[in-house]
Amino acid sequence: MNDVFKALADPTRRAILEMLREREMTAGDIADCFTLAKPTLSGHLAVLLAADLVHRERIGTTLVYHLKLSVLEEAWLRLASTMRLGKSDPSCSTDTAPASPSR
């Protein structure tokens, strides 16, 4: 959930998702669409993979990536339902860092 939003925070990664929306592409195909170095794109793909937004499959020497739209949709639905249809009072219960004076 958090990983999905973090993955979406980068414009390069959103562009990758957009390209992947229709056709699946190899890592090389994707890299050719950007002026960034291949290792950089590989890193972005790793983030998308960790967020479960894409799936990858090896075909011979190439790795084919394809979009997992369902995960993206689900993340949005989670946010949307928390946002619009949430039950009741928002009086302090959603703290991300509960009382633990770590620092």
x-or-dash string of contact with DNA, 16-55, rule CB under 7 A: ----------xxxx-x---xxxxxxxxxxxxx--------
- 17 binding a copy of itself? (CB under 8 A): yes
Residue 95 is a binding residue for a copy of itself (CB under 8 A): yes
Nearer to DNA, 44 or 71 (CB): 44
> For residues 49-88, which are near DNA according to CB under 7 A?
56, 58, 60-63
The answer to whether 92 contacts a copy of itself (rule: CB under 8 A) is yes
For residue 90, how many other CB atoms are within 10 A of its CB?
Answer: 8
3-state secondary structure 39-103: HHHHHHHHHHHHCCCEEEEEECCEEEEEECHHHHHHHHHHHHHHHHCCCCCCCCCCCCCCCCCCC
